[in-house]
Amino acid sequence: MASPLLEVRGLTLRFGGVVALQDVSLEVRAGELVSLIGPNGAGKTSLFNCVCGLYRPQRGVVRLEGRDITRAAPDTIARMGVARTFQNLELFRGMTVLDNLLLGCHRHFRAGLWEVVLGTGRAVREEVAQRERAEAVLEFLDLQAYRDRPVAALPHGVQKLVELGRALCSQPRLLLLDEPSAGLTAEDKDELRYRLLDARRAFGLTLVLVEHDLRMVMDLSERVVVLDHGEVIAEGPPERVQRDPRVVEAYLGVGA
Amino acid sequence: MTLAAQYVANGLASGGLYALVALGIVLLYRSSRVLNFAHGDLCTLGAFLALSALQAGWPYAASVAAGLVGAGLASAGFYQVLVRPVREGTVLGLVITTLGFALFLGGFMAWVWGTDTKPFPSPMSDVRVYRLGGVVISELTAGSLAAALVLVALLSLLVQRTPLGLAMRAVAQNPVAAQLLGVPARRVLAATWALAGMLGASAGVLLAPVLLLDPFMMLDPFLKGFAAAVLGGMDSLPGAVVGGLTLGVAESLFAGYVSVKFKATLSFLVIVAVLLLKPEGLFGRPFERRV
């Protein structure tokens, strides 16, 4: 059988005496939508950070299509096709929406410094392709009205879409979404859900979703992985995980 | 009236060069948050390298190119070898590192080229003059201003209109997010340092015919460039250009109407005034620190 798109094996991450992740293993196959849930501080974002190369786990491996990326630099991993969004938005706030999206396309850029300065054929071709992709995503997410506006001035819901758009521009093979619905109104959440489903179909995405909104999780995901205190405590289809007594306990406390 | 116009013209000419120096300082400050006190010495190094190439019989353009490339490599190398490893250190640590490199460069240049001042040839003459109305401008002055403005325009095209410039701005604003989009932040920063070194060397080559070349030639222009950068807001490339030109004109008017002796002091007054009245400078964003 082909190796899974993302494979995490026995990941342990400690900060001093604090254990953020304890022997965590999980697999994501191409085309899947997996949700990662758990109480605050369960280690969901830490796991994302290990996959992206921002944190170095003490033990365990992360593989992307069978290739070990545990110690790879963040920009190398991004170039291999892993994109993510953040809980608290990490946009380039002083730049326009279009510039943010163009940066999303950056991983497809192969021309070096001198080719850009000299304007060689490849550099020009790549720049045109980059712009076309950014405009297409702008249209796909109905963000044309904000195209040339600086990001910092936009409403939170729109900024969330811009961050999603930036990730889509990279045409990721694996997209990690960290609490995409955090801080959104009920209406915006509905919109986001449709956008995600659309994007998944249009871009053939493989998604890992960290999410607190359980309705969104149950609606969207094919598989749910539950983390608590840095350990995987349950895994399976949403209906089953929802009824798992250990999950109920982790969320509501002992004896609930 | 003609006199005032003459002062303004002279001021713009030196202001263009202050702007070039300021651009190098601002480019690094906004991308690496480093105040590079070695910038002036890198400018001088570029001029010395160009002079050696000229003396070896190279044509003028090739010699200048050699000076630019040499200073660019020295600047990028300084970043890779010394600045990057202490980047996590304190602001003071970084300042000391750049000061140390400045002292090293000064000593190195004195050792290789000696401390006596040397004439630096220029294809433009400072005797041939143009007259516009009553204003007299030498070919050298006009040429230097033109060269400075062309370089400024090229830089702004690079930063505003190319994917490399976009990557540079992204790394300056949010290095982690840039890396997670596949932007090789370190290489982009090294390229930024190289670019700053090359800008500096071009300022050095343009100033050397006027100031005469010695290892400490840039002491004064560096301070002026620094004042221009503060005036423009440290963070803003257009600010550095406007700051440079404004300072040049202000200085020239001050020298003409008030006192030549205290001309150099004006840039310090500018720094103090900006820090007191508008610390973010003319074009800088008000300070905001994320917590």
Same structural domain for residues A176 and A77? yes
**Quick one: pLDDT band at residue A59, thresholds 50, 70, 90?**
very high
Same structural domain for residues A13 and A48? yes
Say if B99 falls within a structural domain. yes
Q: Which 3 state secondary structure label does DSSP give B131?
A: strand
How many angstroms separate the CA atoms of B104 and B96, rounded? 12
Same structural domain for residues A191 and A223? yes
Mean pLDDT across chain A = 89
**Quick one: pLDDT band at residue A36, thresholds 50, 70, 90?**
very high
Q: B265-277 and B237-257 are packed helices; what angle lies between their axes, rounded to 10 degrees?
A: 130
**Quick one: pLDDT band at residue B291, thresholds 50, 70, 90?**
very low
CA–CA min distance A140, chain B (Å):
20
Q: How many residues does chain B have?
A: 291
End-to-end CA distance of chain B: 53
CA–CA min distance B250, chain A (Å):
31
Same structural domain for residues A100 and A40? no
Say if B291 falls within a structural domain. no
**Quick one: pLDDT band at residue B290, thresholds 50, 70, 90?**
very low
User: Where among A170, A199, A215 does a domain terminate?
Assistant: A170
User: Where among A170, A199, A234 does a domain terminate?
Assistant: A170
What local confidence, expressed as pLDDT, does residue B288 receive?
53
User: Where among A170, A205, A235 does a domain terminate?
Assistant: A170
Same structural domain for residues A57 and A68? yes
Range of the domain at A50: 1-81+172-256
Say if A191 falls within a structural domain. yes
pLDDT digits (tens, 9 = 90+) for A105-163: 988 877 766 777 677 788 888 888 889 999 999 999 999 999 999 999 999 989 999 99
What local confidence, expressed as pLDDT, does residue B286 receive?
64
How many angstroms separate the CA atoms of A153 and B182, rounded? 26
Same structural domain for residues A68 and A178? yes
Say if A190 falls within a structural domain. yes
Same structural domain for residues A53 and A42? yes
pLDDT digits (tens, 9 = 90+) for A157-197: 899 999 999 999 999 999 999 998 888 888 889 888 889 99
Strands (E), B76-172: 129-132, 135-138
Task: For residue A54, give the CATH number of its domain.
Answer: 3.40.50.300
Say if A86 falls within a structural domain. no
Using alpha carbons, list the distances in angstroms from residue A69 to A54, A64, A111. 11, 7, 24
Q: Over range B8-13, report the average pLDDT.
A: 91
What local confidence, expressed as pLDDT, does residue B287 receive?
55
Statement: residue A55 has pLDDT above 50: yes
Same structural domain for residues A117 and A241? no
End-to-end CA distance of chain A: 42
Say if B284 falls within a structural domain. no
Burial of A23 (C-beta count, 10 Å sphere; 0-12/13-18/19+): middle
Q: Over range B78-97, report the average pLDDT.
A: 86
Mean pLDDT across chain B = 90
**Quick one: pLDDT band at residue A89, thresholds 50, 70, 90?**
confident
> Do B179 and A75 lie within an 8 Å CB cutoff?
yes
What local confidence, expressed as pLDDT, does residue A209 receive?
93
Say if B288 falls within a structural domain. no
Same structural domain for residues A32 and A110? no
- The answer to whether residues B47 and B67 touch, using CB atoms and an 8 Å cutoff, is yes
Q: What predicted TM-score, i.e. pTM, was given to this entire model?
A: 0.86
Task: For residue B73, give the CATH number of its domain.
Answer: 1.10.3470
Calculate the CA A241 to chain-centre distance: 22
Count the domains in chain A: 2
What local confidence, expressed as pLDDT, does residue B173 receive?
87
Statement: residue A256 has pLDDT above 60: no
Count the domains in chain B: 1
Same structural domain for residues A68 and A129? no
Range of the domain at B225: 2-277
CA–CA min distance B5, chain A (Å):
38
Statement: residue B289 has pLDDT above 60: no
Query: Among A201, A206, A155, A162, which Cα is nearest to A180's?
Result: A162
The closest CB to that of A75, out of B158, B166, B184, belongs to B184
Sequence-distant (6+) residues with CB within 8 A of A126 are A108, A109, A110, A111, B163
pLDDT digits (tens, 9 = 90+) for A9-32: 999 999 988 889 999 999 999 999
Same structural domain for residues A139 and A60? no
Instruction: Give the mutation candidate from B73, B180, B186 for the A interface (greatest A CB count, under 10 A).
Output: B180
Strand A33-37 to strand A207-210: parallel, antiparallel, or no bridges (unpaired)?
A: parallel
Same structural domain for residues A109 and A184? no
